[in-house]
Amino acid sequence: MRNFLLLISIISSLRSCRWMNPSKTSAIEILGPIPSSENAALVWKKYHDNIPLDKYLKEGIQDQCRPRVFPSKTEKTKGVMLLLHGYSACPQQYFEWAERLSAESWEVVIPLHPGHGYTQLAGEDNTKYLPNTQNYKEVYGGFVDQMNELMEAYPKDIPKNVAGLSLGGAMATYALSEAPDLYDEAVIMTPAFEYSNWKARYVSRILFSLRNWSWVTSSDKYKELMESYQGWGEPCEKERELGRSGICDFLAKHAIAMNEFGKEAARKVNKAIQTKTQFVIVEDDAAVKNSEILKVFKRFNSRKNGREKTSICAMPKTANHSLLSRFDNPDLEKWWLDRLLAQLDSFVNEGFFIPTSQKILYDGVSSCVTANDTLRK
């Protein structure tokens, strides 16, 4: 009953929270290189102009969270890659892979998700811009639409790929559904379509379903509970001390909004997607529900012209949810990271899916192997 009331209260306060009008704030400056395409550069600037920045803050965005473009390090650009980071993280999550892709002639674009990456105020994360249950479709969905607009602004004759992890994986799925002919290849890693924890799912569903009940939302007690802390806590703060950028703090209303957007992204896959796509999940993922990921995977078009268009593999449970970042769980040895990055490079550059073994880790999903001897193209 206590959890039930807590969730109801969280939903109620969402009604009173509104996304701040960016026109009333100053925009952040563009950091470093801009897209090589003139039209894409204009969209990139428009995206920056719409990032709210408090006028009274000396530095509103953490340095490693500022949106980045990694230009191709060779004379010829092979294509452009859009990388979408996870919830509470920021572009830093992809820096290592972006450097590799850049050296392999890709132009890499890493935006910052709405409401993420702000500097701390009085030792607490500034989360007032994070989407809530009243505006998550408009904010998260509008962000993905703008990233599709950015990618469409590049010349039509160059390959365009998208990759996403966790919340970014849900966003990548949303992007593919909204623009089914835009991307040549996609990588979707541990997408956040729904919580793995059944209690969190239960509470979230109840609170979200009651968001329009005025007798609930008018309660001060419910509003207070909805603003309750649901962040990552002390482990995240230790990661911050070791160099992780992003936020550790958020409220229940923010977590519910993220979960609902993930469910919306999954629902949008209502017809076969033609983009060649590599899915990667983690066995017994403590953050996201693997059964929901498998449902979405099965709705993707699996074959075209007699060849596979979609593949999925599972990393063992000793790998962590965030997969590609050395800054997440820094005390955990990332035994898989170098090999996984090499395999993702092979998929992006050569079209080879990540090889799998005969070992089944989850409901028919085979293990991603750590050798390159059985590549499937």
Residue 222 lies in a domain: no
**106 neighbors 81 (Cβ within 8 angstroms):** yes
| Distance separating alpha carbons of residues 189 and 192, to the nearest angstrom | 9
Which residues constitute the domain of residue 287? 30-38+58-194+229-368
Q: What does the block give as tokens for 234?
A: 């002390």
Q: What does the block give as tokens for 108?
A: 């890499």
Residue 213 lies in a domain: no
Q: What does the block give as tokens for 311?
A: 């593949």
What is the largest distance, in Å, between two alpha-carbon atoms of the chain? 63
| Distance separating alpha carbons of residues 371 and 163, to the nearest angstrom | 22
Q: What does the block give as tokens for 335?
A: 């035994």
Per-residue pLDDT 10s for the chain (377 aa) are 444 334 434 333 333 333 333 333 456 677 789 999 999 999 999 999 888 876 556 568 999 999 999 999 999 999 999 999 999 999 999 999 999 999 999 999 999 999 999 988 878 898 989 999 889 999 999 999 999 999 999 999 999 999 999 999 999 999 999 999 999 999 999 999 999 888 888 888 887 887 778 788 788 877 777 788 889 999 999 999 999 999 999 999 999 999 999 999 999 998 778 899 999 999 999 999 999 999 999 988 665 555 678 999 999 999 999 999 999 988 888 999 999 999 999 999 999 999 999 899 988 999 998 644 444 44
Residue 304 lies in a domain: yes
Q: Which helix (H) or strand (E) holds 89?
A: none
- Domain count for the chain: 1
Q: Give the predicted TM-score (pTM) of the model.
A: 0.89
Q: Which residues make Cβ contacts (< 8 Å) with residue 226, sequence separation at least 6?
A: 9, 10, 11, 12, 13, 14, 207, 251, 252, 253
Residue 98 lies in a domain: yes
Q: Which of 306, 244, 281, 234 is nearest to 92 (CA)?
A: 244
Residue 185 lies in a domain: yes
In the chain, % helix, strand, coil (3-state, to 5) comes to 40, 20, 45
> Going by DSSP bridges, is the β-strand pair 160-165/79-84 parallel, antiparallel, or unpaired?
parallel
Residue 201 lies in a domain: no
Q: Which residue has the tokens 């550059």?
A: 349
Q: Which residue has the tokens 């160099």?
A: 243
Q: Helices 95-103 and 337-350, interaxial angle, to 10°?
A: 40
Residue 294 lies in a domain: yes
Residue 205 lies in a domain: no
| Distance separating alpha carbons of residues 86 and 67, to the nearest angstrom | 14
The CATH number of the domain holding residue 92 is 3.40.50.1820
